[in-house]
Structure 1
Amino acid sequence: MKEIDPGPAVFGELQRATERLLTAATTLSDQDIAAPSRLPGWTRAHVLSHLAAQAPALERLLTWARTGVRTDQYADRAARDSEIEAGALLPATDLVARLRESAQSWQHAVETLPGPAWDATIVPFTGESCTPRRILVIRLRELTLHLVDLDIGHEVSGIPPTARDIVLDDVVGYYAEAKQVPAFTLRDAEGVELARFNGGGPVVSAARAELLAWLSGRGGLADTPDGLPVLPPWI
């Protein structure tokens, strides 16, 4: 599981990712957000509602880390899903306002989290034990990839390099632990080896943005002489 240390540089990446999302979202009308996103079964409003609801959910995990009192991200999946559905019914201006307010509250909570709390053990909705350092990765990943999912002209290739590499490391880490991943070696366009899955094998090489798009299900790659590995679905 990818974790990153807190500090001004990381907080700045999170803030900039939030600003990119909000800048894009504020251009959308009610008709725009009712249109399909790139995620099956979700409109753009669902994507924005998810991100608006995710910030306070992750903030609850920070409360757990700060106080030592278990504070779950969501009561259960049904509660999470119903919150997203309810938010998706809001007018565009109201939904963007909720997105902005929740993001600002989250950013403040992260930047003011006491030092010892960063080493506390918490459990996100996905079930793994981690520290709040993991939550920084989760939020950055969601902000960057879901901007692409809005399908309004943003692509993985447009993610800034630092954020892109953090998210790429996270996705690679997921596949390193996943079941039914075929043997292959992952390299970037400069030949840097990023991972060997199941001992290595055929080489898949491309620019890092292209690799992230492929691994996260948001783009394809040119075929290799031995064919591209067939990966299990990412989260």
Structure 2
Amino acid sequence: MLEAIDEATAKLLGTVRRLTDDEIRQPSLLPGWTRGHVLTHVARGGEALRRALHGQPPYPSQEARDADIEAGARRPAADVLADITATADAFRAAVAGFPAERWDEQVITPNYPPFPRSELPVRRLHELEAHHADLGLGYTSADWSPFYAGLSLPEPLRSQRADRLIMQGRAG
């Protein structure tokens, strides 16, 4: 799983490296969100999943999450790139060093039923692949890694992936 996350992270970072400040402020494929919103969400998501791995609440509150994304969306492209890089590195290090005997423990988060910690890397991979396509920069579901495209996802990730396939006319 870490190899798939590393590959998806590298592809996303390659896309972000090419963005100008103007391009990052352009609309994404997600209604009401610019590319900066989507990318800041990916960075904050990395932090949230790392906190959940350690049994902490993913976000202080929904309001704080939303405010962080809104504020981060207006940053220069270089700052967004640095943020995604740092949070990706921190998530990877946390997962790589996590004790094997604790992966079956349950994660409790608001708005979701409990799930095993072993799903956190799956959720990260989903965020990277799905939100890369959401940027509207030519990366589509056809570019998803075969590993991710064939992965049996839990809900709501399965429905979110299916929605993107439908949006791109690739239902299946």
User: Could you report, residue by residue, the CA deviation over 1:141-183 in whole angstroms, capped at 9, with x for unpaired residues?
Assistant: 11001110111111101111111111xx326x5499x9xxxxx
2:167 to 206, 218, 226: 218
Is the contact between residue 123 and residue 130 of structure 1 (CA under 8 Å) also seen in structure 2?
A: yes
1:170 to 153, 161, 164: 153
1:38 partnered with 2:29: yes
Larger Cα-atom Rg: 1
After TM superposition, the score normalised by the length of structure 1 is: 0.67
Name the counterpart of 2:98.
113
Deviation at 1:124, TM superposition (A): 3.0
SS in 2 for 1:170: coil
Taking a change above 3 Å as real, the CA distance of residues 215 and 92 of structure 1, as seen in their structure-2 partners, is closer
User: Following TM superposition, by how much is the alpha carbon of 1:134 offset from its aligned partner in structure 2, in angstroms?
Assistant: 1.2
Q: TM-score, normalised by structure 2?
A: 0.91
In the TM superposition, 1:177-188 aligns within 5 A as: none
Whether the aligned pair in 2 keeps the contact of 1:36 and 1:44 (CA below 8 Å) is: yes
1:221 CA drift (Å): 5.3
Structure 1 residues without counterparts, runs of 5 or longer: 1-9, 65-70, 179-211, 223-235
* Counterpart residue number, 1:60: 51
Given that 1:156 and 1:213 are in contact with CA atoms closer than 8 Å, whether structure 2 keeps it comes out as no
CA distance in 1, matches of 2:156, 2:40: 25
Distance in 1, matches of 2:103 and 2:136, equals: 35
Given candidates 13, 19, 26, the residue that maps to 1:28 is 19
- Residue 18 of structure 1 and its aligned partner are, at CA, apart by 0.6
Q: 1:216 to 1:165 in 2, by over 3 A?
A: same
Distance 1:89 1:153 in 2: 22
1:83 maps to 2:64: no
Q: Which amino acid aligns with 1:218?
A: M
Q: Distance in 2 between matches of 1:31 and 1:107?
A: 30
Name the CA distance, whole Å, in 1 between partners of 2:69 and 2:123.
18
Bigger relative contact order, structure 1 or 2 (CA pairs below 8 A, ≥6 apart): 2
SS in 1 for 2:150: helix
Deviates more, 1:117-126 or 1:127-136: 117-126
**Structure 1 CA distance for aligned equivalents of residues 6 and 157 of structure 2:** 28
Cα pair 2:141 2:164 within 8 Å, conserved? no
Q: Retained in 1: the 8 A contact 2:28–2:135? A: yes
Q: 3-state SS of the aligned residue for 1:116? A: helix
Cross-structure match for 1:102: 87
Shift of 1:116: 1.6
Q: Is the 8 A contact 1:214 1:220 kept in 2?
A: no
1:107-163 Cα distance to aligned partner (Å, 9 max, x none) = 010111001220111113432101111111111111001110111111101111111
| Cα deviation, residue 218, structure 1 | 2.9
Q: 2:19, 2:77 within 8 Å by CA — same for their partners in 1?
A: yes
Cα separation, 1, equivalents of 2:157 and 2:120:
19
- Match of 2:125, as an amino acid? L
Between Structure 1 and Structure 2, which shows a larger proportion of helix residues? 2
Code of the aligned partner of 1:91: P
Amino acid of the structure 2 residue aligned with 1:164: A
The yes-or-no answer on 1:160 pairing with 2:117 is no
The one-letter amino acid of 1:136's match is P
2: CA distance, partners of 1:34 / 1:138: 26
